[in-house]
Structure 1
Amino acid sequence: MIFSRKQAGDGRRGRDKRATEVLDGRDAEEAVPERGPYDVSEAPDGVERLDLGSLHIPAVADVEVRVQADPQGVIQQVVLVHGESALQLGVFAAPRSEGIWDEVREEIRHSLVNDGATVEEAQGEYGPELHAQVRTPDGLTDLRFVGIDGPRWMVRGVYQGVAATAPAAVGVLRECLDGLVVDRGQEAKPVREPLPLRLPREVTDQAGEGDRPVEA
């Protein structure tokens, strides 16, 4: 299923650093980040977003939101596509006291290396990230892994295509990531458990009628 809007006419450390840039004599814990991903408690109003449960994705011109969901509307995968670049998104439960991207990143690196991939760590705008080249049935594929720790959650993004090898060319996909909103909920969850993602009810009903792409 595809949602699209057509055009008309370091981990938590990096996130906290952005928050301190907008401090005005206030304590850092009270600062609202200049950009996201945002927790639902601090998200700016007046922005059109696609509500997928734990993730609310801003509507950005010419970005397609591609989702794979089961018959009950539970989403298995979310990928944003713009031109020759794509961004796969995942959101996971994390402890209240500390972020998990450092640990998760190391596990991803080990897994990729064990599978024969070439991996290197680099410093990106959100903090440490991984650049990998993996072998697929279609040949070598470049991937770029980013992670952002928030309050009791972590967003993981995997860039593919041009944005994987040329971060400066990420374009409006950065706008999507910066405008992302996470609704963690209050329910206790095991650390690293994926937070639930679901199609909006009206979309599920419309898809059931014809199982066709939907524009939002």
Structure 2
Amino acid sequence: MFGKRKGSSDDRYPADDYDDEYGYDEDDDYDDNAYAAADYREAGAPRSGPYDFADVADLLEQVAEQRLDLGSVILPVPQGGQLQVEMTPDGTPQAVHLATEHGRITVAAYAAPKSAGQWRTVAADLADSLRNDGARVAVETGPWGRELLAVTEGADLRFIGVDGPRWMVRLVAAGPSGASNDGSPLVAAARAILRETVIRRGDDPLPVREPLPVVLPQELSEQLAAAHQAQVDAQQQQVAAQAAAPQMGPGGLPPRMPDGPRRGVDGSAMQQLGLN
């Protein structure tokens, strides 16, 4: 890791109890070294992340091969984790998910003002939106303060947010029933990943809450492009094969062509339409 574990900031936000069925357990038993790529307990090293790129750029070079660089977000990848890339209709990478045996973890960064507090506002809006969609929502207090736990029809979700210098990072841990409870393996993995996440904000002026762009590594981008092209080629071949196949009649035989124009009482079909 880049530094020591960050102390709890429980006093930063009060723990609002949205729904009575959820409580907060102060025992935090996740493994501090579960997904650490390296141990950087050096004198003067910054405390536990998420980190701003400018603060750890030199240290990051030592573990670059063990990190997934997505441009605005640099992540440690848990052992056995698989990448899932979500693309927009025009082929632009929109999100990268880390699929683990316990559930899926998604980390995204957003532009924020210089003053902290954006996550508090985002969390309130998010809680309202989730409730409107029928989810049961509770606010719990984690290592960085406010966390949202939502039980939906399809999955349990935990949202963890952290305010940084002109950025805000949000992690979503999604899994089956109970997977997003405090102290679960999925939440332990999520918090360990977030402690080692690096945010590269950049200097461009951006609207508040604007997602910071996701840039795929060249090798991954080439693999996705090749897979997409292979899928397009297969679809084109299927369409061409269907167009080339003869239209078969009953018994697998080509349909019989009529001997001549069908005639009615007033002449052929063509004549009736005034085209002959």
Q: TM-score normalised to the size of structure 2?
A: 0.60
Deviation of 1:158 (Å): 1.2
What is the rounded CA distance, in whole Å, between the counterparts of 1:59 and 1:143 in structure 2? Answer: 20
What is the rounded CA distance, in whole Å, between the counterparts of 2:72 and 2:210 in structure 1? Answer: 12
Bigger RCO of structures 1 and 2 (CA < 8 A, at least 6 apart)? 1
Deviation of 1:182 (Å): 0.7
Residue identity in the other structure for 2:212: L
Who is 2:124 aligned against? 106
Residue identity in the other structure for 1:37: P
Who is 1:203 aligned against? 220
Whether the 8 Å contact between 1:73 and 1:204 is mirrored in structure 2 is no
Please list every run of 5 or more consecutive structure 1 residues that lacks an aligned counterpart in the other structure. Answer: 1-9, 15-21, 25-30
What is the rounded CA distance, in whole Å, between the counterparts of 1:163 and 1:95 in structure 2? Answer: 33
Higher mean displacement: 112-121 or 197-206: 197-206
Residue identity in the other structure for 1:95: P
CA offsets 1:59-114 (integer angstroms, 9 cap, x no match): 33222222113487632122112212221222100001223000000000111112
Deviation of 1:210 (Å): 3.4
Secondary structure of residue in 1 paired with 2:162? strand
Residue identity in the other structure for 2:183: P
Whether the 8 Å contact between 1:147 and 1:157 is mirrored in structure 2 is yes
Q: TM-score normalised to the size of structure 1?
A: 0.75
Deviation of 1:163 (Å): 4.0
Correspondence for 2:198 among 160, 181, 189? 181
Identity over the aligned pairs, expressed in percent? 39
Correspondence for 1:65 among 83, 98, 123? 83
1:145 aligns with 2:159: yes
Deviation of 1:208 (Å): 2.1
Structure 1 residues 181 and 81 mapped into 2: Cα distance closer, same or farther (>3 Å)? same
- The alignment's C-alpha RMSD in Å is 2.6
What is the rounded CA distance, in whole Å, between the counterparts of 1:164 and 1:127 in structure 2? Answer: 16
1:131 aligns with 2:163: no
What is the rounded CA distance, in whole Å, between the counterparts of 1:159 and 1:60 in structure 2? Answer: 14
Structure 1 residues 39 and 163 mapped into 2: Cα distance closer, same or farther (>3 Å)? farther
Deviation of 1:152 (Å): 0.7
Alignment length (residue pairs) = 184
Which is greater in Rg? 2
What is the rounded CA distance, in whole Å, between the counterparts of 1:40 and 1:72 in structure 2? Answer: 29
1:34 aligns with 2:47: yes
Residue identity in the other structure for 1:74: T
What is the rounded CA distance, in whole Å, between the counterparts of 1:129 and 1:66 in structure 2? Answer: 24
Residue identity in the other structure for 2:73: L
Please list every run of 5 or more consecutive structure 2 residues that lacks an aligned counterpart in the other structure. Answer: 1-8, 14-40, 231-276
Whether the 8 Å contact between 1:54 and 1:182 is mirrored in structure 2 is yes
Deviation of 1:58 (Å): 1.7
Considering fraction of residues, name the structure with more strand: 1
What is the rounded CA distance, in whole Å, between the counterparts of 2:138 and 2:190 in structure 1? Answer: 22
1:165 aligns with 2:178: no
